[in-house]
Each structure stands twice: as C-alpha cells, then as structure tokens.
Chains A and B, each alone.
Chain A
C-alpha cells in the first residue's frame, strides 16, 4: 500500500496535553519496540486506532511495582503524519522486510569481524532500526505487532507473534510531525480497577 499521509493516535497522561499542543511530541528513548521516537497507533485491526491508543493510555498508567495508577486522567491525541520520500519504511511489506533483513545480515557480518566481543543477549529489532535511521534518511517506521492492551493480558504476560495493532513510530517529531495537525481526540478518567 502506498501512503502519502497517515492519521496516528497517541495515548498518554493528560498532564502532557499542554506541552504537546504547544511544543509538539517528545521522543521516547531507551528500550523501545521499534527504536526511539513518538509511537502512534494507526490503521484498524481489531479496534479503531484511537481506541487502541486509549486502551494503551489506560493500561500503561498502572505501575506494577507500586500497585497504583501513576496518572488518573488520560488523553488521546491525533496527528497527521506525512510519509514523503525516503523517510518512511513500511515493515509490513515484503520490500520493507527485505530491507530490514539486509541490514540485520550486514550488522551480523560486521560483528563476526569484531572478534573480541559477542552478543550477550540478543540483537534487538530496535537497535537494528536505530542503525537504519543512523545511516539513511529513514525516520518513520510502520509495523503491525502484538501489544498487550488490557490489564488481563499484562498481568498474564501474554506473548504473541500475531499482531493486534498497527504501530507507527516517528523520530525527530519537530521535523516530521506538523504540530498544527495535532488535536485532542478523546479524554478520560482511569478507574482504579482498570
């Protein structure tokens, strides 16, 4: 499928509303699914993507260590993201997967030469994506994946290779997301039994 632009939905703590509307989204970093960036739900699989974003905002409020919701009000924001030129990599296409696997193989080949070190755990998809972004103009990645969107799934630590949502991750949001397209889609309150 060819995309020119796509509507994405981002669920978060309602206290971030003013900052996002004023300054644009902030990039998440660290151990992420598809590399650093702003994560959006796009396209419907089981539920519309704004509902996926809402469910995400609700389940991620829960802190399993402290056993409390870290925020009680959430917000779902909508943004229009342009997918122009060579900045977009669609990992739901055969070509996108070929590209990813070419890079993975190239990294592994080079790691064979770096004989003094070897992988302790795994070469994460996220690290491969960061290398793709570092060496090319690619800044936006799309991939269908399985995300635990209910507290029941999270408590039971479900795992699946069959996707239930479609994710778009955007690096450098100031450049790649027009902040004038950001608007509030939904707001809500988190009940303690959510």
Chain B
C-alpha cells in the first residue's frame, strides 16, 4: 500500500467524522479528555517579578558580575 493509496482511503472516511464524533471514538479507545477552559487574554497588568539590584550594588565583592543587574 502506498502512502497516497492510504491517504485516499483514510480521508474519504475520516473527513466525514465530526470533531465531536472523533472525541467520542477516541474516548471509546481509552483516551481521556477534560473540559477545556477558555484561556484568559494576556494580562498586561500582572506585576513582573521585582529585579533585586540592591544587593548587587551594596556588595563589596569586586568579582560580582554586575551585568546580572542589567
């Protein structure tokens, strides 16, 4: 069986299957689903994690990598 022969036979039938039918078929074959929650749009007001730079500048350690504070 060639890939093209397979695709022709498979999609002739698979295209008739609705997404809901497919979910039901997969569930019958042991695949588990859960209800899908719509994701909230990205919230630009979320506070970013604070970048603590104080310790860097107060450090007496000359070898401290100051680029970390950038």
Contact = CB atoms under 8 A, between A and B. Distances in A.
Interface string A98-116: 1100110011001101111
Contact of B30 (A31, A107, A113, A131): A31
B3 A95 contact: yes
Interface stretch (A8-16, A20-28, A122-130, A142-150): A122-130
B34 A120 contact: yes
A98 B5 CA distance: 13
A135 B9 contact: yes
Most buried by B among A30, A31, A119, A122: A119
A124 B36 CA distance: 19
B19 interface: yes
Contact of B33 (A35, A113, A119, A131): A119
Interface of A: 30-31, 35, 85-86, 88-89, 95, 98-99, 102-103, 106-107, 110-111, 113-124, 126-127, 130-132, 134-137
Closest 8 CB pairs of A and B: A114-B19, A120-B32, A117-B33, A135-B13, A127-B29, A113-B19, A118-B36, A120-B34
